[in-house]
Chain A
Amino acid sequence: MAAIKVHGSPLSTNTLRVLATVYEKELDHEFVLVDMSIGEHKKEHFLSTHNPFGQVPAFEDGDLKLFESRAITRYIACEYADKGTQLIYQDSKKMAITSVWMEVEGQQYEQIAAKLAWELVYKPLLLGMSADKAIVEENEPKLAKVLDIYESRLAQSKYLGGDCFTLADLHHLPTLHYLFGTQVKKLFDSRPHVSAWIADITARPAWLKALALQSQE
């Protein structure tokens, strides 16, 4: 039985973030499906054992239990630094820059991208409801401004943290994937460096393995 367990759903962006990391590091693990359609993640057992916020993913490595996808990926990248893909820099200056762009993803990009993904993808898919136009119209220009900054950054640097693919890039994959299937795609396509970066990171075998779990449902 694997010491590493990832609890979540393959449809969840936050779960996919952790799965992509586990695959990049080529780690033996068990994926434990949490049935969100019946509210398993809101039940007392899940709240007290895995994540008091009632969210996925949750993570185990032996006795260690963690929640918050970005804390989990950091832990994996550090603890298993010598396995699979290097996802963080050992050099502290380079790591500091990578850390900046990890925060940019979590604080600037995701806050807007997640709202758009919810309106344009999850609401129709899971609830059969249509998008709230006002929310979409408010957030598309905000995302465009963030992507302008990404365009400048990626004109100077192949990946967000520097020359190498790191967690700073990986963290974007799940929401990017969903937004690519919507009208928001044009915002990425119209920015050449952003577009090239997306083409590069979405082609990674580890990401494709994580996505493949969606078809296994």
Chain B
Amino acid sequence: MATPVKVYGPPMSTAVSRVLACLYEKNVEFELISINMSKGEHKKPEFLKLQPFGQVPAFEDESISLFESRAICRYICDKYADKGNKGLYGTNPLAKASIDQWLEAEGQSFNPPSSTLVFQLAFAPRMNIKQDKVVIRQNEEKLSKVLDIYEKRLGEARFLAGDEFSLADLSHLPNTQYLVSGTDKGNLFTSRENVGRWWDEISSRDSWKKVVDLQKGA
């Protein structure tokens, strides 16, 4: 029987892995359809119908077609509210508002500098693209300031939005994984006591371990 949920994209993509982590947390079965980006498959007309910006992931579930990893995650949490981790996107409006707040902080403040560093330090070398030392330094500074704020927050609460692991924490997994395990900038996280504790806890979750395995196997 064909699985209705389809995710298009390589598991090594940070945005794809964000969606995969969410699907594993919610125990939702899915089919991962590989997109060969080095061959430009994501810029071809058939793919652009699914994702007009020519980026991964794209997502299908029964009759609905979506893109933007954070929108996909919110959809999964809403559609499959009763499956897997039921509290992932909050079980009441106040919890949800706090999760949305930190999900936006991730998307607006954490993601820009961290994804630039991931590209410069983890992907550029593989793609034979020259690293830009100025860009690296500027973004390391930006990310450090954000992590100082996180350090304070995670001294007040176990997870970003409160006492429970949520979509807000999950959203940070992909970029942080690369920085901690694949570059020399891991100390940005591990040298901060609360951030380090938080990283250990969220990255040890079974759902994230499954994603990392997929990335290694790809």
A residues engaging B (CB < 8 A)?
52-53, 64, 66-71, 74-75, 78-79, 92-93, 95-97, 99-100, 102-104, 106-108, 111, 146, 149, 152-153
What's the minimum C-beta distance from B200 to chain A, rounded to whole angstroms?
23
Inter-chain CA distance A180–B178, complex, in Å, is 39
B153 touches A71 (CB 8 A): no
CB pair A53–B149 under 8 Å, yes or no, is yes
A interface footprint on B96-108 (CB within 8 Å = 1, 0 otherwise): 1110110111011
Contact assessment for A103 and B109 in the assembled complex, using a CB-CB cutoff below 8 Å: no
Chosen A-B contacts, 27 in total, with CB atoms closer than 8 Å, are A52-B153, A53-B146, A53-B149, A64-B94, A66-B97, A66-B98, A67-B105, A68-B108, A70-B100, A70-B108, A71-B101, A71-B104, A75-B96, A79-B93, A92-B78, A92-B79, A96-B66, A96-B71, A96-B74, A96-B78, A99-B68, A103-B71, A104-B53, A106-B107, A107-B107, A108-B53, A149-B52
The reply to whether B78 and A68 form a contact with Cβ atoms under 8 Å apart is no
Q: Is the CB of B100 within 8 A of A106?
A: no
Q: Is the CB of B100 within 8 A of A74?
A: yes
- Among candidates A52, A71, A93, A95, residue contacting B149 with C-beta atoms closer than 8 Å: A52
Q: Is the CB of B71 within 8 A of A102?
A: yes
Q: Which residues of B contact A99 (CB under 8 A)?
A: 68, 71, 74-75
Instruction: Mark each residue of chain B from 51 to 70: 1 if its CB lies under 8 Å from any CB of chain A, else 0.
Output: 01100000000011011101
Residue of B nearest to A74 (CB): B100
> By the criterion CB–CB under 8 Å, are A70 and B53 in contact?
no
Contacts of A75 in B (CB 8 A): 93, 96-97, 100
Total of A-B residue pairs, C-beta within 8 Å: 80
Contact B100 A68 (CB under 8 A): yes
Query: Which of B53, B70, B96, B97 has the most A CB atoms < 10 Å from its CB?
Result: B97
What residues of B have a CB within 8 angstroms of the CB of A66 in the complex?
97-98, 101
- A153 close to B52 (CB less than 8 A): yes
The CA of A1 and the CA of B99, in the complex, are separated in Å by 28
Task: Let me know if A96 and B101 touch, CB within 8 A.
Answer: no
Q: How far is the CB of B215 from chain A (nearest CB, A)?
A: 22
The answer to whether B52 and A111 have CB atoms under 8 Å apart is no
Q: Which of A69, A103, A106: most chain B Cβ within 10 A?
A: A103
**B109: which A residues are within 8 A, CB to CB?**
53
* List of 7 A-B pairs having minimum Cβ-Cβ separation, nearest first: A103-B68, A68-B104, A71-B100, A71-B101, A99-B71, A75-B97, A96-B75
The residues in B between 72 and 120 inclusive whose CB is less than 8 angstroms from any CB of A are 74-75, 78-79, 93-94, 96-98, 100-101, 103-105, 107-109, 112
Closest residue of chain A to B69 (Cβ to Cβ) is A103
A35 to B94 Cα, complex, angstroms: 29
Task: Report if B205 contacts A (CB, 8 A).
Answer: no
Q: A75-B93, A79-B93 known; A70 and B149 CB under 8 Å?
A: no
Tell whether, in the assembled complex, residue B71 and residue A100 are in contact, meaning their CB atoms are under 8 Å apart.
yes
CA distance A75 to B152 in the complex (A): 25
Q: How far is the CB of A87 from the nearest CB of chain B, in Å?
A: 14
Residue ID in chain B nearest A98 by CB atoms: B71
